Structure 1
Amino acid sequence: MSIYLMIGLLFVLMALGVPVAAALALASLTFVVFEGMPPMIVLANMVNGINSFPLIAVPFFILAGNLMNSAGITTRIFAFARAAVGWMHGGLGHVNVGASVIFAGMSGAAVADAGGLGNIEIKAMRDAGYDPDFAVGITAASSTIGPIIPPSLPLVIYGVVAQTSIGQLFVAGLIPGLIMAGSLMIMVAWYSRRRNYPRDQHFSPKHFGTTFIQALLPLMTPVIIVGGIMSGAFTPTEAAIAAVAYALVLGLLVYQTLTWRRIVRISLETVETTAAILLIVAASAIFAWLLTANRVAETISTSLLSVTDNKVALLLLITLVVLIVGCFMETLAAITILTPVLLPVAVQIGLDPVHFGIILVLNLMIGLLTPPVGLVLYVLSKVSEVPFERCVTATAPFLIPLIAVLMLLTFVPALSMWLPQQIYR
């Protein structure tokens, strides 16, 4: 059985609606059986794929985000963002972006941002008279900031697969995340002038101070995570554990919005989410191993380099490949499969693995806003009760600033690499 038939089988299974982890595992198992290899090799490689210490950070970051959501902290974040930027034209659009930046430092997942803040943001914008399409579009686009600004689950997975410093990846995402926020706020300003969206409220130093004090402790979460990693106080894995401990202190002792019964429920939800993520990573690991063992990665690398030796053309080609894959494949599976294939090409044309990681993740975040997979769109369709097809149309204009930022980060490496070079030199 040809390795390319295995790839074809994967896409057929996914098109039939088979869960991505099962599709990856079944396609791999079919190839192994047809090639006469022992089937146990599938299980062995799946286990080996998740046998990595840094992956311990995944459930803890998920748990920290879930605890923050359930403790009512997202409401405080939204209120502070509203006081900070709500005075601008199209105020709630800017609030939407600002709240996502803050929440990004807690959850590290686009879907968590869309599900946690999305309901609050879209309801507030609808009540204020904003078009539902605009509310859904900016909420979807701003949620992609979550996996770029640390902590980030996709960057953890990439760091494990690429054997690259997760600490450097986290630091490298700070400036790109802020640039993404700035580009989306420019888009909001343009929309607001065109559609005459109102200011949400006048700026009040007193109200700003009050909401800042109320949100101060939650705002310290990204400071603890990023500051701890940058200072060397703890590793990214230890930072995840510290985030959970801090969330528990806020929810149980400070705000007293969490109960032990709710914590048990949140923990079970975290176990369920983690199991789904690690199944995808494990199934992707065996699939990626088969691609590498059959020299598909080498073939693709040679093919890309034979097309042109122009760095700009190769970067555009790699970007196009990742964008297409991101439209059809779940983010974590795409990272696990694409990294061994494309990273050697990127390194060969002079890209730092950390820089490539930021480009790859942002590329795949854009994929979350495109059909047919588009997980963020499905979440927001459910939250906003807007049909999926309409969500796709509403989000399309906001792909323009995101793709512009992607191009900027691709061709100006200093935007990603300056901070890591200053801290880790």
Structure 2
Amino acid sequence: MRKTVNILILFLAGVLSILPIIFWGITEIGGMSIMDGERFIIHVVFVFACFAGIITSADHRQLNIEVFNLRLSESLKSTVGSINNGISIAVLTALFFACFPNILTVIDSGDMLWGIPVRFLFLALPLMFLAQLVLQIRENKRLLSSLLGLSAGLFVSCGSLASIAYTVFGAESAALTAGASIWAAVSAKLLVPFVLAFIAAALFGLPLFIVLLAITYTAFSQGGGYVDVVPLEMYHILTDSSIAAIPLFTVAGCLLAEGSAGKRLMELVRSSVGWLRGGVIISSVLVLTFFTTFTGASGVTILALGPLLSLILTGNGYSEDDAESLITASGSLGILFPPSMAIIIFGVTNIMTIDIFDVFRGAVLPGMLLTISMIIIGVVRDRSKKRIPFSWKELKTAFCASFFELLLPVFIIALYFSGLFSLLQTAAFTVLYTCVLEIIIRRDFSWKGAAGLILKSIPIAGGVLIIIGAAKGLAYYLIDANVPALLTDIVQTYIHSKYVFLFLLNILLIFVGCIMDLYSAILVVSPLVMPIAESFGIHPIHTGVIFLMNMALGFLTPPIGMDLFIASYTFNKPVIKIVKNILPYLGIQCIILLLVTYIPWFTTVLLP
């Protein structure tokens, strides 16, 4: 079964990498239009995301926090594991059944895509939930909690089951209707305790996508029982053309990270600035930033390049602690530069307020400030006497050796910002270029090896896409419940100064960055923040950049910043030691954040 899924996911990845460029050529060069061409591609992405979600669960790579589990005894860990297992099974069961009212009644039976019913393509979503459910039961081997979870999942699914029974058989079930009414009443009365319990479970390792789905499902249950909206919103966000670029950039980033690109770029910057004090530091920060722009996840960059860069830094006289802290602190800088997935998702989430182009423009200067600040503090802490003599010959050799790697960001910026390619086409070009570079030109690995690396990147892409889908339902509920307007009224009633609001916003967002992953925070929190900031006359792009900078800072903020734990795992050091070493970097990033917050010029000067 796993081999079949792997073959299918590789086929879909190939289709996503090739078709956008072929369609562009036919349309722009050949002058012919392809009916539903983009719609077909984004539905391929939807199916890809569902199968990637299965692989992510099979590999136990779903994003979670799991902060407090480290301090628990083995018996308590077992108890917590049983509780989380039961919750996961209940949620996956409920979501599986919630998909079918959409298939039977919501999606038009006549809606066809290249001869394929859209209903049939939508089936990939319940198939994903079913596969995740089977994996959860089979691999956890906790019979009692699994049975309790299944029972709870069937009970809360009474509304969905009643809808299915009525549509298929044309008759109402009194028992199912009664069960749905009981669950609606219970969820209405206990909504807050349920939400708090799910958040607490998140801190003890419950996967974040389960937490988001559980909260959203419960919220819709007490608000009228429209739980079928949850999978429908997942479908809507995962068939957005901008979201389609995410798995492609992730694949390209992983191929680059596993090949020789990092070493080549490192050698280029070393040969150009290695004779300066901190030259190796400059190269390390720039390479880290470069790779995070493609992978979209600072943790992936730290894991992939951390050991290599640490070895290079310590080999050039930098202390081990300083090397590891520099790598950890610089891992998230790339989310402010194109083609950052964070900016793409932020733009899609707030599409009615901002343009993705403008967010890219607005984030460039703050991103450069943060990058330069990391370089400066790294150089100040560099007490080594070892220098690399400058040599034009070595610089020329390094430049020639990394020429094709240097062309990639140039092509991306030129193709996307010129408007010649859409974001999806740019992402497809990036994957094709990277494959040609790493397999044919550099020969870092064979086609078979590349396929293995693509499969290795799938859990990363799958984890992100499923979080995005899960968070979209909650974002929809909050907007539907008019929460942004209510929060705006409250803030305007008690806070009258724009500057006080900005200060409190920074505190709130850093906290959010600590406890939530980047993508669910963007989808859930940013639609709440944007209208409030706009009511104070703050430019939407300014607010967006502040939001993203806070998220990046939250990854490093003790005690539960995600990158702290990833660095601890990568470098095999206690978290407390990682925290102690990054404090100078954390302090200067806070200063840069405040500077950008209170001087809007940094985010608006490049806007048209």
Normalising by structure 2, we get a TM-score of: 0.65
Structure 1 segments unaligned to the other structure (5+ residues): none
Distance, in Å, in 2 between the alignment partners of 1:102 and 1:35 is: 45
Whether the aligned pair in 1 keeps the contact of 2:338 and 2:360 (CA below 8 Å) is: yes
Higher relative contact order by CA 8 Å / sep ≥ 6: 1 or 2?
1
Residue number among 255, 258, 262 corresponding to 1:70 in the alignment: 258
Q: Is the 8 A contact 2:345 2:519 kept in 1?
A: yes
The verdict on how the C-alpha distance between 1:7 and 1:162 changes in structure 2, with shifts beyond 3 A counting, is: farther
Question: For the residues of structure 1 that align with 2:503 and 2:386, how far apart are their CA atoms?
Answer: 39
Query: Alignment partner for residue 44 of structure 1, among 232, 236, 253?
Result: 232
The one-letter code of the counterpart of 1:347 is E
Q: Which residue of 2 aligns with 1:320?
A: 507
Q: State percent identity of aligned pairs.
A: 25
Residue 422 of structure 2: aligned partner: 235
When residues 331 and 277 of structure 1 are mapped into structure 2, their CA distance, relative to the original with a 3 A threshold, is same
From 442, 451, 457, give the equivalent of 1:264.
451
Per-residue CA deviation, residues 282-307 of structure 1 (Å, 9 max, x unaligned), is 11111122222223322222222222
Letter in 1 for 2:403: L
Partner of 1:187 in structure 2?
Answer: 377
- Which letter does structure 2 place at the counterpart of 1:235? S
Is 1:416 the equivalent of 2:606? Answer: no
> Aligned letter for 1:255?
R
Classify 1:272/1:107 alpha carbon distance in 2 versus 1 (closer, same or farther; 3 Å): closer
Q: CA shift at 1:4, angstroms?
A: 4.7
Shift of 1:98: 2.5
| Offset, 1:62 | 0.3
The equivalent position to 2:532 in structure 1, one of 331, 334, 345, is 345
The answer on 1:298 being equivalent to 2:491 is no
Aligned partner of 2:205 in structure 1 is 17
Distance 1:138 1:26 in 2: 38
For the 8 Å contact 2:318–2:384, the answer to whether it is kept is yes
Instruction: Find the aligned partners of 1:103 and 1:278 in 2 and give their Cα distance.
Output: 19
User: RMSD over aligned Cα, in angstroms?
Assistant: 2.0
Matching residue of 2:408 = 221
- Secondary structure, counterpart of 2:232 in structure 1: helix
| Residue aligning to 2:46 | none
2:216 aligned partner, one-letter code: S
Structure 1 residues 89 and 115: CA distance shift in structure 2, 3 A: same
Runs of 4+ in 1 over 4 A off after TM superposition: 2-7
Read off the aligned partner of 1:158 and give its amino acid letter: F
> Partners in 2 of 1:79 and 1:386 — Cα distance?
28
Q: Which position in structure 1 is the counterpart of 2:356?
A: 166
Unmatched runs of 5 consecutive residues or more in structure 2:
1-187
Q: Secondary structure at the match of 2:606?
A: helix
Q: How many residues matched?
A: 418
Contact 1:93 1:188 in 2 (8 A): yes
Alignment deviations for residues 332-369 of structure 1 (CA, whole Å, 9 cap, x no partner): 11111111100001222223322222211111011111
* Aligned with 1:99 (options 262, 278, 287): 287
**1:244 CA displacement:** 0.8
Q: Give the one of 26, 30, 54 matched to 2:242.
A: 54
Q: Which residue of 1 aligns with 2:571?
A: 384
1:330-369 maps to which residues of 2 (within 5 A)?
A: 330-369=517-556
Q: Which of 437, 445, 470 is the equivalent residue of 1:250?
A: 437
Equivalent of 1:197 in 366, 370, 384 = 384
1:175 matched to 2:365? The reply is yes
Larger mean Cα displacement after TM superposition, 272-281 or 26-35 = 26-35
2:340 to 152, 161, 175: 152
TM-score in terms of structure 1 length = 0.92
* 8 Å CA contact 2:316, 2:384 repeated in 1: no
- Give the counterpart letter for 2:242 in structure 1: P
CA distance in 2, matches of 1:39, 1:107: 33
Tell whether 2:328 aligns with 1:140.
yes
Greater alpha carbon shift after TM alignment, 87-96 vs 16-25: 87-96
Contact 1:169 1:354 in 2 (8 A): yes
Shift of 1:262: 1.5
Q: Is 1:167–1:236's contact at 8 Å kept on the other side of the alignment?
A: no
Kindly provide the CA deviation profile for residues 201-260 of structure 1, in whole angstroms up to 9, marking residues without a partner as x. 232222222212211210111111112222222122221111111101111221111311
SS of residue matched to 1:158? helix
Counterpart for residue 116 of structure 2: none
Of 313-322 and 5-14, more deviation after overlay is shown by 5-14
Q: Is the 8 A contact 1:366 1:402 kept in 2?
A: yes
**1:146 alignment partner, SS class:** helix
Cα distance in structure 2, aligned partners of 1:343 and 1:171: 18
Q: Distance in 1 between matches of 2:215 and 2:599?
A: 38
- Native 8 Å contact 2:506 2:550 kept in 1: yes
